[in-house]
């Protein structure tokens, strides 16, 4: 299978499995697990934050981050298309009693500074208390502009707001720009990083921030069902991922660029340029579902929804995978010319 649905589909290789098997472990709820502590120290250091905490998922580390900043009746500002708002089951509202104030995302993934400023409610008992600005980097594969992040977090701070970064793919942003992870993370009070996406670990995210915020998040993690025990087995995979699989994200970005090039050779697919390790396309002239089925029959899986398809490159696709996509696209258009023509005439 050439599985382009997501970079979450990567499976741990022999070296990662060996690191997991050999990891010294203890009960992480007693803070007794040496491997978990090592991962948490390493992630905090890489992200230039005081402390970090291991979570089973990015959904839970984002939520714990939001809840560490906001209490019941507080409000957070977030992109309308942000993962934390749109794709995490509304957890901030449901479990955190935090009112989301979603704001339009610009095509480059930012939220206009004027929108942020206008959305910050005055201190008036009619309003929820605006407490937090949450950004996401990368956003749909796009790297947020560094100057923008400095301005947005500065604006938040001037208004007394805390800041959270959903940095699920922060390492992709770092590798794509040649900046270190610390530079991208430092403007934020808390940062969530996924180990289970392009970094290749089977499970896990970390939330990083000040020692106080991470202690608050530890209590929240408990409330959210967490406190796992011998997590060193999982943390070992995270350490391996941070040590071995960051620089190689450049290969994924190069392959996404090649894939975008291949797909753009078929005008009907309407493929856009590569964004770090992703390529999006919204084909107007073909039946998207039929295209997806045709690819799947040839062992090529592509993700996406609502008429937009998403291709994601990662550890488990290679140059041969992209050659097979080209061949499958050629076969698709050779087999379906009449449908395309009819659609155009219609
Ligand atoms: C995947 C993802 C998450 C959530 O991570 P899970 O481990 O799948 O819960 C959060 N934010 C972004 C941007 C993501 O891509």
At 104-113, the pLDDT tens digits run 999 999 999 9
- The finding on whether 61 has its CB within 6 A of some atom of ligand 1 is no
Whether 16 has a pLDDT exceeding 70, the answer reads: yes
100-104: list long-range contacts, CB under 8 Å, 24+ apart: 100/75, 100/76, 101/75, 101/76, 101/77, 101/128, 101/130, 102/78, 103/77, 103/78, 103/79, 104/79, 104/80
**Nearest atom within ligand 1 for CA of residue 56:** 7
Ligand 1 center–CA 154 separation, angstroms: 25
Domains of the chain (ranges, CATH numbers): 12-244 (3.40.640.10), 249-345 (3.90.1150.10)
Ligand 1 center–CA 8 separation, angstroms: 9
Contact 94, 39 (CB under 8 A): no
Which residues fall within 8 angstroms of residue 324, CB to CB, at 6 or more apart? Answer: 2, 298, 299, 300
Question: How many angstroms separate the CA atoms of 89 and 110, rounded?
Answer: 22
Write the CA distances from 282 to 80, 199, 270, 291, integer angstroms: 20, 27, 6, 12
φ/ψ of residue 7, rounded to 5: -80, 5
Q: What is the largest CA-CA distance in the chain?
A: 68
Contact 115, 104 (CB under 8 A): yes
Reported as a single tens digit per residue, the pLDDT across 132-176 is: 999 999 999 999 999 999 999 999 999 999 999 999 999 999 999
pTM score, two decimals? 0.95
| For ligand 1, mutation pick of 58, 238, 310 (most atoms within 8 Å of CB) | 58
Contact 98, 68 (CB under 8 A): no
Reported as a single tens digit per residue, the pLDDT across 22-45 is: 999 999 999 999 999 999 999 999
Question: How many angstroms separate the CA atoms of 88 and 67, rounded?
Answer: 14
Question: How many angstroms separate the CA atoms of 264 and 274, rounded?
Answer: 10
Ligand 1 center–CA 44 separation, angstroms: 19
What pLDDT does 340 receive?
Answer: 59
**In this structure, which residue's CA is closest to atom 15 in ligand 1?**
168
pLDDT above 70 as % of the chain: 97
Opening angle at CA 105, ends 103 and 108, nearest 5: 155
**In this structure, which residue's CA is closest to atom 14 in ligand 1?**
168
Reported as a single tens digit per residue, the pLDDT across 265-298 is: 999 999 999 999 999 999 988 999 999 999 999 9
Write the CA distances from 189 to 83, 86, 270, integer angstroms: 18, 22, 39
**Nearest atom within ligand 1 for CA of residue 62:** 10
| For ligand 1, mutation pick of 54, 87, 173, 275 (most atoms within 8 Å of CB) | 87
- The finding on whether 58 has its CB within 6 A of some atom of ligand 1 is yes
b/e burial code for range 62-93 (CB count within 10 A of at least 16 → b): bbbbbbbbbeeebbbbbbebbbbbeebeebbe
Question: How many angstroms separate the CA atoms of 229 and 250, rounded?
Answer: 34
- The finding on whether 7 has its CB within 6 A of some atom of ligand 1 is no
| For ligand 1, mutation pick of 54, 61, 194 (most atoms within 8 Å of CB) | 194
- The finding on whether 16 has its CB within 6 A of some atom of ligand 1 is no
| For ligand 1, mutation pick of 79, 83, 85, 144 (most atoms within 8 Å of CB) | 83
Opening angle at CA 92, ends 128 and 167, nearest 5: 115
Contact 145, 187 (CB under 8 A): no
Collapsed DSSP state (helix, strand, coil) of residue 236: helix
What pLDDT does 341 receive?
Answer: 45
Question: How many angstroms separate the CA atoms of 137 and 144, rounded?
Answer: 6
């Amino acid at each position: 299978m050439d599985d382009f649905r997501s970079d979450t589909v990567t499976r741990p290789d022999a070296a990662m499995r060996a690191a997991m098997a050999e990891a010294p472990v203890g009960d992480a709820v007693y803070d007794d697990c040496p491997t978990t502590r090592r991962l948490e120290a390493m992630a905090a250091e890489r992200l230039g934050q005081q402390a970090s905490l291991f979570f089973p998922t990015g959904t839970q580390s984002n939520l714990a981050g939001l809840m560490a900043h906001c209490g019941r009746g507080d409000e957070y500002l977030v992109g309308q298309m942000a993962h934390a708002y749109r794709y995490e089951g509304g957890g901030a509202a449901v479990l955190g009693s935090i009112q989301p104030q979603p704001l339009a995302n610009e095509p480059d993934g930012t939220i206009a500074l004027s929108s942020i400023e206008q959305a910050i409610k005055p201190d008036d008992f009619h309003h929820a208390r605006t407490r937090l600005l949450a950004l996401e980097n990368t956003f749909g594969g796009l790297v947020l502009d560094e100057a923008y992040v400095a301005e947005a977090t500065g604006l938040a701070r001037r208004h007394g707001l805390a800041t959270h970064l959903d940095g699920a793919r922060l390492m992709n942003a770092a590798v794509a720009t040649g900046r270190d992870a610390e530079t991208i993370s430092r403007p934020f009070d808390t940062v969530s990083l996924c180990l289970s996406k392009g970094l290749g670990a089977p499970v896990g995210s970390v939330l990083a921030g000040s020692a106080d915020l991470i202690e608050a998040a530890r209590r929240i993690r408990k409330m959210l069902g967490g406190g796992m025990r011998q997590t060193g087995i999982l943390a070992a995979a995270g350490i391996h991922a941070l040590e071995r699989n960051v620089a190689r994200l450049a290969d994924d970005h190069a392959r996404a660029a090649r894939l975008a090039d291949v797909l753009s050779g078929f005008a009907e697919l309407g493929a856009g340029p590569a964004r770090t390790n992703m390529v999006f396309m919204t084909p107007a002239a073909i039946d998207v579902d039929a295209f997806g089925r045709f690819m799947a029959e040839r062992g090529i899986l592509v993700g996406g929804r609502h008429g937009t398809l998403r291709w994601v490159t990662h550890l488990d696709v290679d140059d041969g995978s992209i050659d097979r996509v080209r061949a499958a696209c050629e076969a698709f258009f050779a087999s379906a010319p009449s449908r395309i023509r009819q659609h155009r005439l219609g």
